[in-house]
Amino acid sequence: MVDVSDKPVSRRQAVATGTISLGDQVFPLLAAGLLKKGDALATARLAAIMAVKNTATLIPLCHPLPLTGIEVDFALDDSRQAVDITVRVNTLAPTGVEMEALTGVAVAALTIYDMCKAVARDMSIGQIRLVEKTGGKSGDYRAPSQLTGM
């Protein structure tokens, strides 16, 4: 692991996004809350939070961090029959939380897939990316708008 003991503690935030495309069989069921396994978005929210909190056990050489906040948001897009996932993570630490935000998005998408796979398996997960990070020595970063869709 990289030694961060000489780095100052600072307020850091990372925002990551991703998408799961569901298709015309699954999307209406998820949107109406009619999946047999239950509320996929509530389950995915909890899974994302758990993943963020456990990133250091999932990603080798990732530092365990004291997290100060986790937000998980979903936006259903009828035209694309997709769910857009956004995870925002905050900390006061000597290193950033980009991996935590990215891991949260990935696990949320995988959880939605798991909750929906009994209906159809042709779902697609993609476009997982860091869209913003603030704090730390390297300064702030914001992905170009053409990449983020924002």
Q: Taking a C-beta distance cutoff of 8 angstroms, is the pair 111, 47 a contact?
A: yes
User: Is 150 within a domain?
Assistant: no
User: Is 140 within a domain?
Assistant: no
Share of the chain above pLDDT 70, in %: 97
Of residues 3, 114, 122, 140, which has the active-site annotation?
Answer: 114
pLDDT at residue 150 in the model? 44
User: Is 70 within a domain?
Assistant: yes
User: Is 149 within a domain?
Assistant: no
Q: What's 80's domain CATH number?
A: 3.30.70.640
114 part of the active site: yes
- Provide the phi-psi class of 136: left if phi over 0, else alpha when psi is between -120 and 50, else beta: left
pLDDT at residue 147 in the model? 55
Domain of residue 34, residue span: 11-134
- Residue among 36, 103, 27, 100 at smallest CA distance from 68: 100
Residue in the structure block whose two tokens are 């980009």 = 98
User: Is 83 within a domain?
Assistant: yes
pLDDT at residue 67 in the model? 98
- Integer Cα distance of 86 and 130 in angstroms: 10
- The CA dihedral of 86, 90, 94, 99, to the nearest 10 degrees, is -20
pLDDT tens-digit series, residues 74-112: 999 999 999 999 999 999 999 999 999 999 999 999 999
User: Is 40 within a domain?
Assistant: yes
Q: Does the pLDDT value for residue 146 go beyond 60?
A: no
Window from 22-31, 71-80, 134-143 with minimum mean pLDDT? 134-143
User: Is 144 within a domain?
Assistant: no
Q: Does the pLDDT value for residue 22 go beyond 60?
A: yes
- The CA dihedral of 42, 85, 142, 139, to the nearest 10 degrees, is 30
- Integer Cα distance of 150 and 146 in angstroms: 8
pTM, two decimals, is 0.94
User: In Å, what is the CA distance from 76 to each residue of 19, 73, 97, 116, 130?
Assistant: 10, 10, 26, 15, 20
Structural domain count, the chain: 1
pLDDT at residue 136 in the model? 87
